[in-house]
Structure 1
Amino acid sequence: MQAGVPAPPGVPAQPVAPPAAPSGAWPTPANAGQWPTPPNAGQWGTPTPAAPAGAPVSGPLPPPGPTGTAPVPPAAPDGSAPAGPLPEGSVPSAWPAGGSVPSAWPAGGAGYTGVAVPPPVAPRRGRWRTVVAVLVVLALAGLAGFQAYQIDRLGDRLAATDRRLAETQSADAARLDGVEKRAEALEKQAGATFNPEAVASAALPSVFRVRAGQFTGTAFAIGKPASGGGTNLFTNFHVVEAVWEGGGREVFLERTDQRFPATIVKVDETNDIAQLRTTGRFTGLVATREAVKSGQQIVVVGAPLGLADSVTTGVVSAFRDARDGSGPVIQFDAPINPGNSGGPVINGNKQVVGIATAKARDAEGIGLAVPITVACDGFKIC
């Protein structure tokens, strides 16, 4: 180690001067004399003697300089350090004879100083994996945000649709209520409008011609089916009086070419009413519970002079209370004749208001009927 240069810590100073290199051992670098003596010259241990001229350099390389620096360049052939600094990142322009790189630094043992060593480069594969992972995370986050946005918009659309549906249903309900009210009003108007054809169509299937011995009259089904089966009917007592007084009970109901036997069940001579029953099942007419009024329009169905299914129309002329031992009667102006006795008098609502009984002999337009309420209260079959 050169004199005057302190040794590294832990290494005793050995003031041994290295032998001079033989002539021609090392070529003179082009920039000889430009390198100043490095501050760490002689700090790497015992210097290595110079190799003979032309001989290969052997032995270990001196240890590297301080962290982050490269060894100092070799000394000049005369043993002195090159003058001037070596440019950063450059190497000597000349090496030992033969052009081979020496395996050990020449005498002087000083390392390069001031040359920056580049930091180690991280492997590209790990860096790319990190970048890809970050991109995947960002993509997933963006996708999740987009889906959340779409879900929020979908929820808004559903809410708006529900509101529109509720408004539409409310409007439909209001329109339906209006339609129902108009339908009810029309029904009332239709009920108030007298339609003889509709009344006759509803009544005719329940009206029959009655043959009781030598007498002919009319009978009609009333109320619900009889308790033991069959159908209950009303007619006038005077229609079946001869059979009843003679002890008979059987009469016949006729319509076109059909004939059904019927039995006289009960009679009311005072009010001129008789109850019949047949085993056949027929639709019974409905009795009204409202009092008739003068001017009320009516339809009379019967078999005048044996002519079945005859229909006449008129109005209620008056309601006559009971007097002189006779019950109350309804006066009407619809034409009737012998054979209409026992036929129904029906209002515009297709309900029976009375049982046609008689007509004035010496006048026109005066017919009489027993109120249906009298018959229903007396026989309990309506």
Structure 2
Amino acid sequence: MTAGYGSADTGPAGPGDGSYRPGPLPPRIEPPASAYPQNVPGQAPAAPPRTTWSPPQQQGQWGAAPVAPAGWGQGAAPSAVPTAPGGPTSAGAAPGAGWPPAAGQASPGAPGQPPAAGQPPVPGQPPAAGQPPVPGQPPAAGPAQPYPAGPVQPGAAPASRGRWLTVTALVLAGLLAVVTGVQAYQIHRLSDRLGDTDRRLDAAQAGDGTRLDGLESRAEALEKQAGAAFNPEAVASAVLPSVFRVRAGNSTGTAFAIGKPAAGGGTNLFTNYHVVESVWEAGEREVFLERTDQRFPATIVRVDEANDVAHLRTTGKFTGLVAAPAAVKSGQQIVVVGAPLGLEDSVTTGVVSAFRAAGGGQGPVIQFDAPINPGNSGGPVINGSKQVVGIATAKARDAEGIGLAVPIKVACDGFKIC
């Protein structure tokens, strides 16, 4: 329905009689019935949707949550609501959707719809875009979120990924540097240990060389000592090839090669004069040298009756023994080689008992304790150095261990063949 102003209303004077009749009023728009609750017969009239809210205290902030008026929604009769400025008020009539709210007043939105931008939210409804959220209500859908933490910059995710890659690369580089440093330290330690090992080996080799030199020196000294030591076996082995059994008529004795080969060839030998005395006295000069199954003729060259020495010579070539350059000493070990009782290549050992100087018309003699018997006469008396020290010549009768020998120096000086 439409309503207008009555005729009692007066306005400014119009043309002519000073008054005018107003034209038809604009139509009043009634809100659809679905927008407001309907009154049902027999029931209390439904209250129109109303809300109260507190205006924000500061720009950008909202106050307390909207509070419904007392008795709202409890079935109580609604208060009188004006339908238009200056218009009538009817109980239960809902305000029209077309009239605007007064300045500073909020206009409730339609049920189920979010309030317009800049309006307070309605309880139970999501706030409009750009509005602060209601406690206990989900935020409104849309690109804009309430109270954003800050502006979203394009490319933020790639920048964060780049920073993460940079940090990762720095961490890996640091780990690589640490590993490289540890390996370098280990290599340095290993090099030091190898150097120490080389030095120890060099020192050990030097010490081994010194010890080896010392051992060689000691071995040489021991060889010399062994050579100087008395060894009857070695002495006998070296002397026997130069010692022979002598057959001179009915006499048997011993002879040995001495010195260098003879001037006209052959070998010079020494024996006792009493061995060849019978042949020499008979005017004969030939005797025979025997060794195992061999027999060599020899000639009596000269004799020394006072010292009981005879010089023989044979055409055969034999190794001559060497005369000792020094006189013997008491206690010196000796070997006597001969043919006692015709038993050739017999060896006995003993020591020098004493050196007896010449006296009573007799020359000097060597006393020794090696056993000798008839047939040893003319045999060599050998020291530990395989040198001839005397010529065995006699033994004491009715006594043991007393043998006598002519010093080799006496024979060499008398015949000049040594």
Q: TM-score, normalised by structure 1?
A: 0.54
Alpha-carbon distance between aligned partners in 2 of 1:262 and 1:175, rounded to the nearest angstrom: 57
**1:178 to 1:212, Cα distance in 2 relative to 1, 3 A:** same
**Is 2:341 aligned against 1:336?**
no
- Give the alignment partner of residue 247 of structure 1, picking from 272, 283, 287: 283
- How far did 1:189 drift? 1.8
Give 1:296's aligned residue: 332
Quick one: distance in 2 between partners of 1:169 and 1:264? 66
How far the C-alpha of 1:187 sits from its partner, in A, is 2.4
1:294-326 per-position Cα deviation (integer Å, ceiling 9, x unaligned): 111111000001110111111100000001111
Q: Are 1:219 and 2:243 an aligned pair?
A: no
Name the residue aligned to 1:151. none
Give the direction of change, closer, same or farther, for the CA distance of 1:225–1:183 in structure 2 (3 Å limit).
Answer: farther
Deviation by residue 1:167-200 (Cα, 9 ceiling, x = unmatched): 9999898667535522331123213422111111
Pairing 1:320–2:366 present? no
Amino acid at match of 1:213: G
1:333 maps to a residue whose letter is: D
Question: Which residue is equivalent to 1:197?
Answer: 233
3-state SS of paired residue (2:366): strand
1:298 is paired with a residue whose SS is strand
Superposition deviation, residue 224 in structure 1: 1.2
What's 2:273 paired with? 237
* Structure 1 residues not aligned, in runs of 5+: 1-166
Name the counterpart of 1:209.
245
Pair 1:307–1:177, CA change in 2 (3 A): same
- Following the alignment from structure 2 to structure 1, what is the Cα–Cα distance between the partners of residues 305 and 214? 53
Matched, 1:308 2:344: yes
> 2: CA distance between counterparts of 1:274 and 1:175?
55
Structure 2: tracts of 5 or more residues without a match: 1-202
Deviates more, 1:289-298 or 1:180-189: 180-189
Alpha-carbon distance in structure 2 between the residues aligned to 1:377 and 1:178: 44
- What residue is the counterpart of 2:399 in the other structure? 363
CA distance, structure 2, for counterparts of residue 242 and residue 364 of structure 1: 28
Q: What is the CA–CA distance in structure 1 between the aligned matches of 2:215 and 2:415, rounded to whole Å?
A: 43
2:361 aligned counterpart, secondary structure: coil
More off after superposition, 183-192 vs 292-301: 183-192
SS state at 1:191 partner: helix
Deviation at 1:268, TM superposition (A): 0.9
- Amino acid in structure 2 at the alignment position of 1:328: P
Alignment map for 1:100-111 (pairs within 5 Å) = none
**Which deviates more, 179-188 or 365-374?**
179-188
Alpha-carbon distance in structure 2 between the residues aligned to 1:281 and 1:302: 20
In structure 2, the residue matched to 1:265 is 301
One-letter amino acid of the structure 2 residue matched with residue 216 of structure 1: T
1:276 matched residue in structure 2: 312
Question: CA RMSD, aligned part only?
Answer: 2.4
Q: Deviations over 1:74-107 (max 9, x none)?
A: xxxxxxxxxxxxxxxxxxxxxxxxxxxxxxxxxx
> What amino acid does structure 2 have at the position aligned with 1:278?
T
Tell me the amino acid that sits aligned with residue 358 of structure 1: A
TM-score for both structures, normalised by structure 2: 0.50
Q: Distance in 1 between the 2:210 and 2:269 partners?
A: 47
Larger of the two Rg values belongs to structure? 2
SS of aligned partner of 2:240 = helix
Deviating 4+ runs (over 3 angstroms): 167-180
% same residue: 85
Q: How does 1:62-81 map to 2 (within 5 A)?
A: none
Structure 1 residue 278: Cα displacement: 0.4
User: Matched residue of 1:345: which SS?
Assistant: strand
**Cα distance, 1:230–1:172 mapped onto 2, change above 3 Å:** farther
Separation in 1 of the partners of 2:268 and 2:204?
Answer: 53
Which structure has more RCO (C-alpha within 8 Å, separation ≥ 6)? 1
1:349 matched residue in structure 2: 385
